[in-house]
Structure 1
């Protein structure tokens, strides 16, 4: 039985009662313990025999304590996870629109980068402009990490309402911006914080409705970020020349309002941790598989968005394509990412998420390096489509992997928060550094920077996989 799957819980439970059950592995024992329903101690005076086999063993002061099932759903009760049904899949829909209007907005920034360089921020350098997108992505991850305790306390809908307001309000304020600091306040800070408030509900809600199908559910939901990265740039590109930057930005705000309205209406909390989670779980970094995965993800995300931010400018400045066709490169990239978030995640439920993310990340880094030798439109289009596909899995699989790397499901939020905090630093500094490299040396060195970091990240995650599952190639990890 794989330690990364909950499919054999019943078999392990049956095995426990058979002769030789003392030979259960520690992983099997941990899984069985996690699958048991929660119990609370009660002093029973008149407990009658019932279908659960509970019976009275004493009265008054001498009554003994019994184990009785708790009526409160537990985050650790794996047997109660639906893994399907209308309500569970509606949560995927809610999470889809949360991703659509958080990561989908972040994935759109490449279009804004190209517009700002010749539009309202033409006096700013590409590196300065890229700080807007990197701060936005940083706040999405960082705020998402620190709002986990709010989610655990049960204020899920309050968190979503605040996030929805900030995203829409930020879009409306961006439509009025005409200077660099105004764009920073509206697009980077306001929208970034709003996206961060939406990120935790979008990720955490699925882990309470799915266990064996968690990667598939997460992939379907995360595809919303790619679809947002396709639709929003097209809307901006088509509307900005005709109705202007202000109204093009407002239209995106109204679409976000509609999608987030669906999420707020549909999302339902099934269970929250029995107590507030710890804000930090520092001993987790003593576990090689967790520490190496966090480091690898940090390196990967530091280089991953270089292509997203600069491929459009690359095609324009090197005369590979005109303004119109160059714009569609970002949409092609995000369109490929839609399939990259669904297909590899579906396969990951069978192969193991760590086994899936490593080759996808490695190929993403190689594709970024291939841009160095791409001097015509056709290869750039092919690279964008493939880069979108393989990088999509690198973005969508980490939450699933963190679930599998955490034995105590009540600590999933804490460990995700710590990982996302570290990764947010990579997002913050990666694209501005690449912007400085672009200013100093040009695009080839920029692609080297992004590609080498993603490849390095895949290698370190490979070490995490070995620490978790050993060297066996056929082990599901």
Structure 2
């Protein structure tokens, strides 16, 4: 037992931190500098996933031009898929770097890699150049910028976490909408080379600004960051979550990238195919904040299950029989609003 002379009261302004657990006395502020971080995460989503979501515009150009005579349609599909695949495969390495050096160095490096990938693609004259630039480099840049930012909003927002993540995720839709129209106009008036250069330069500047101002609360929360924990894969709930994520992405990415090609296949023009891609991203921008609010109110499981089912049914009932521009646009808006529900559920549950 301590002697009375050895006891000392802890001032009310101080809190005792337990590593890996956010102390009840220091809950997420639900505001303050968190709004700046929300703007930064919105920018990250806008200029990474938003930009790569407009790849359908480039896809329709590549498929209808003779820019790379030795290429096949499958080549262009693989280049687009590398944006997502490389980004996700780089996650363990990026997490390790963020743990060792903080979130800013990998994000700054990722901004340079991402913008540089687009600029390098503008000088490509062989298909393998495009694989390395618009495929591998762009995907690696997405991973280095996006992965360190994933859990930041969960550190700043508690009660409003789903709403904050919904607004942040809507950035991908806004970016996809803007860059779909902008890329189409740039390709038409300046050519494919300058379209890629302008996109890369703008994305580079925006991501550098976001990386500079984004701030985590790791010094307060002291999270345990594990780049890869294979032990979790043996848990039934984690296995089911990963299975749902895998199947969701298996349908999400082909829909996101192939809707423009589908538009061409039913006789629509390249301009109309660009508009369909843009409207799909507009649906994403509108739908994701509402998904966030619904998740807060009704629970993530129910919202994710119902919207996943609705998206699948809409593909069968609307997309397959679609033969006109109006129906395809309607499907693009509807599917865009709900097909990214996985990102919302993942963002809400993420913790450092």
Query: Is this a same-fold pair by TM over 0.5?
Result: yes
CA gap of 1:275–1:349, structure 2 versus 1, over 3 A, is: closer
1:73-95, CA deviations, whole angstroms, 9 ceiling, x for partnerless residues? 86532542334223011111111
Which residue of 358, 365, 371 corresponds with 2:319?
371
Aligned residue pairs, count: 348
How many Å separate the matches in 2 of 1:275 and 1:153?
Answer: 13
State the secondary structure of the residue aligned to 2:217: coil
The structure with the larger Rg is: 1
How many Å separate the matches in 2 of 1:328 and 1:185?
Answer: 28
Q: Which residue of 1 aligns with 2:302?
A: 355
Within a 5 Å distance, the mapping from 1:21-32 to structure 2 comes to none
State the secondary structure of the residue aligned to 2:216: coil
Q: Which residue of 2 aligns with 1:214?
A: 161
CA gap of 1:365–1:234, structure 2 versus 1, over 3 A, is: same
Which residue of 5, 22, 28 corresponds with 1:82?
28
Deviates more, 1:44-53 or 1:224-233: 44-53
1:250 aligns with 2:197: yes
Which residue of 190, 198, 212 corresponds with 2:137?
190
Q: Which residue of 2 aligns with 1:381?
A: 329
- Taking only aligned residues, the RMSD between alpha carbons, in angstroms, comes to 2.5
TM-score (norm 2): 0.91
Partners of 1:340 and 1:392 within 8 A in 2:
no
Q: Which residue of 2 aligns with 1:323?
A: 270
Q: Which residue of 1 aligns with 2:186?
A: 239
Q: Tell me how far 1:50 sits from its aligned partner.
A: 5.2
How many Å separate the matches in 2 of 1:260 and 1:231?
Answer: 16
State the secondary structure of the residue aligned to 1:334: helix
Partners of 1:357 and 1:394 within 8 A in 2:
yes
Q: Which residue of 2 aligns with 1:56?
A: none
1:453-472, CA deviations, whole angstroms, 9 ceiling, x for partnerless residues? xxxxxxxxxxxxxxxxxxxx
TM-score (norm 1): 0.68
How many Å separate the matches in 2 of 1:343 and 1:50?
Answer: 43
CA gap of 1:322–1:102, structure 2 versus 1, over 3 A, is: same
CA gap of 1:275–1:326, structure 2 versus 1, over 3 A, is: closer
Partners of 1:116 and 1:122 within 8 A in 2:
no
Partners of 1:234 and 1:331 within 8 A in 2:
yes
Which residue of 92, 95, 115 corresponds with 2:41?
95
Within a 5 Å distance, the mapping from 1:301-316 to structure 2 comes to 301-316=249-264
Q: Which residue of 2 aligns with 1:118?
A: 64
Partners of 1:78 and 1:211 within 8 A in 2:
no
Where does structure 2 lack aligned partners over 5 or more consecutive residues? none
Which of structures 1 and 2 has the larger relative contact order (alpha carbons within 8 angstroms, sep 6+)?
2
How many Å separate the matches in 1 of 2:141 and 2:160?
Answer: 28
Partners of 1:345 and 1:393 within 8 A in 2:
no
Where does structure 1 lack aligned partners over 5 or more consecutive residues? 1-43, 54-67, 404-411, 414-477
CA gap of 1:287–1:78, structure 2 versus 1, over 3 A, is: farther
Q: Tell me how far 1:171 sits from its aligned partner.
A: 1.5
Q: Which residue of 2 aligns with 1:105?
A: 51
State the secondary structure of the residue aligned to 1:268: coil
1:300 aligns with 2:236: no
Q: Tell me how far 1:153 sits from its aligned partner.
A: 2.8
Q: Tell me how far 1:238 sits from its aligned partner.
A: 0.4
Partners of 2:119 and 2:201 within 8 A in 1:
no
1:43-90, CA deviations, whole angstroms, 9 ceiling, x for partnerless residues? x9855445459xxxxxxxxxxxxxx94479865325423342230111
Q: Which residue of 2 aligns with 1:160?
A: 107
CA gap of 1:45–1:388, structure 2 versus 1, over 3 A, is: same
How many Å separate the matches in 2 of 1:275 and 1:400?
Answer: 17
Which residue of 229, 240, 260 corresponds with 1:281?
229
1:396 aligns with 2:344: yes
CA gap of 1:269–1:181, structure 2 versus 1, over 3 A, is: same
CA gap of 1:230–1:78, structure 2 versus 1, over 3 A, is: farther
How many Å separate the matches in 1 of 2:265 and 2:10?
Answer: 77
CA gap of 1:89–1:323, structure 2 versus 1, over 3 A, is: same
